[in-house]
């Protein structure tokens, strides 16, 4: 989430409204299996430090914090000051929903307290593309990120893997796009749209030429001192996700046309047909994602 150039995201970037819209689908898709394995590993530590890369408005925190118990410390990093400025409000709302106590300590820090979990959070601006090596990971047990890896390049991912290997911390990177899209009802042009989107995914998203759908596999190959496991975490979008589908149809049509302007008329027709099915409440979409967990092999 750190950058604003992803073909599977709205063209206007990572707006707070878009992140709020997609959060239920994100949380529903995430791997219960890998989360459970992380929770079991976490139990060996009294305190637990987490660095969240590309945190957005703290959706990853809202999913993981209730599962990771007491005495958590989170550092939330994102290059979008607008998203960071929404964190306190979103956490205050979430605290009410979860019957937790939210206390704002400073403009960029807060605490969350609940009978079953507690955390101290700080959030700050960080250009992950340029400043990854400056992040303080001294007391970090987990490095995590959501919908991030497919934006990044091989060189950046190698730097990330070096940090994780050297720190001997766990990593959990979730909702990495794997290049697979499946619509119902099917259209003849669906395959071409997917091919154009996946080609667009390989362009520079701010980190150098992106690895796109193969990114999670590349990171797994670089974490040489870790035991690694992945699990499919597809979005399943039906009529209850009408608004998300509407945004994706529009944005993906724009990205596909950018990738191949010569097919603009075909892409426009595809978009109109997809919108027709959506308006008739006949549209479903599966977006392929993968969660990846790594645990330090010497600490299992």
Can you tell me whether residue 275 is helix, strand or coil?
Answer: helix
User: 284-296 and 170-184: which strand pairing?
Assistant: antiparallel
DSSP state of 159: H
Closest CA to 214 of 176, 174, 164, 248: 176
The share of the chain scoring above pLDDT 90, in percent, equals 93
Question: Does residue 123 contact residue 87 with C-beta atoms inside 8 Å?
Answer: yes
8-64 pLDDT, tens digit per residue, is: 443 334 789 999 999 999 999 999 999 999 999 999 999 999 999 999 999 999 999
Q: What's the pLDDT at 250? A: 95
Q: What's the CA gap between 158 and 161, in Å, rounded? A: 5
162-183 pLDDT, tens digit per residue, is: 999 999 999 999 999 999 999 9
Return the axis-axis angle of helices 242-259 and 16-29, rounded to nearest 10°.
110
Residue 277 has pLDDT above 70, yes or no: yes
196-243 pLDDT, tens digit per residue, is: 999 999 999 999 999 999 999 999 999 999 999 999 999 999 989 999
Confidence of residue 297 (pLDDT cuts 50, 70, 90): confident
Cα–Cα distances (Å) from 76 to 90, 135, 203, 230, 256, in that order, read: 14, 11, 26, 24, 32
Closest CA to 151 of 229, 193, 203: 203
Q: What's the pLDDT at 298? A: 73
What CA dihedral angle connects 185, 214, 147 and 80, to 10 degrees?
-120
Q: What is the pTM of this model?
A: 0.93
Averaged pLDDT of the chain? 94
Q: What's the pLDDT at 300? A: 61
- What is the CATH topology of the domain spanning 16-178+209-235+290-299? Rossmann fold (3.40.50)
User: 72-78 and 48-53: which strand pairing?
Assistant: parallel
User: 72-78 and 118-125: which strand pairing?
Assistant: parallel
Q: What's the CA gap between 214 and 178, in Å, rounded? A: 7
48-97 pLDDT, tens digit per residue, is: 999 999 999 999 999 999 999 999 999 999 999 999 999 999 999 999 99
127 Cβ contact list (under 8 Å, min separation 6)? 2, 79
Q: What's the CA gap between 119 and 156, in Å, rounded? A: 29
Q: What's the CA gap between 118 and 66, in Å, rounded? A: 8
Closest CA to 6 of 51, 15, 154, 220: 15
188 Cβ contact list (under 8 Å, min separation 6)? none
């Amino acid at each position: 989430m750190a950058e604003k150039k992803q073909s599977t995201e709205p063209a206007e970037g990572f707006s707070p409204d878009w992140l709020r819209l997609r959060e239920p689908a994100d949380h529903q898709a995430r791997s219960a299996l890998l989360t459970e394995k992380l929770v079991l590993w976490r139990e060996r530590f009294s305190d637990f430090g987490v660095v969240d890369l590309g945190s957005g408005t703290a959706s990853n925190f809202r999913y993981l914090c209730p599962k990771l118990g007491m005495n958590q410390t989170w550092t939330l990093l994102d290059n979008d000051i607008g998203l960071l400025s929404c964190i306190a409000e979103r956490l205050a709302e979430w605290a009410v929903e979860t019957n937790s106590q939210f206390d704002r300590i400073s403009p960029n820090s807060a605490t969350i307290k609940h009978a079953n979990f507690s955390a101290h959070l700080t959030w700050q601006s960080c250009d992950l593309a340029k400043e990854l090596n400056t992040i303080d990971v001294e007391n970090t047990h987990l490095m995590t990120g959501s919908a991030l890896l497919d934006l990044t390049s091989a060189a950046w991912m190698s730097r990330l893997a070096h940090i994780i290997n050297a720190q001997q911390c766990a990593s959990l990177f979730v909702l990495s796009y794997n290049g697979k899209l499946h619509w119902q009802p099917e259209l003849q042009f669906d395959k071409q749209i997917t091919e154009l989107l996946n080609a667009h995914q390989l362009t520079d998203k701010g980190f150098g030429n992106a690895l796109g759908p193969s990114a999670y596999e590349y990171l797994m190959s670089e974490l040489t001192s870790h035991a690694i496991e992945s699990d499919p975490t597809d979005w399943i979008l039906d009529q209850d996700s009408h608004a998300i589908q509407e945004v994706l149809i529009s944005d993906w049509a724009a990205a596909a046309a950018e990738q191949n302007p010569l097919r603009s008329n075909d892409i426009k027709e595809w978009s109109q047909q997809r919108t027709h099915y959506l308006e008739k409440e006949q549209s479903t979409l599966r977006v392929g994602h993968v969660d990846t967990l790594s645990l330090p092999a010497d600490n299992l």
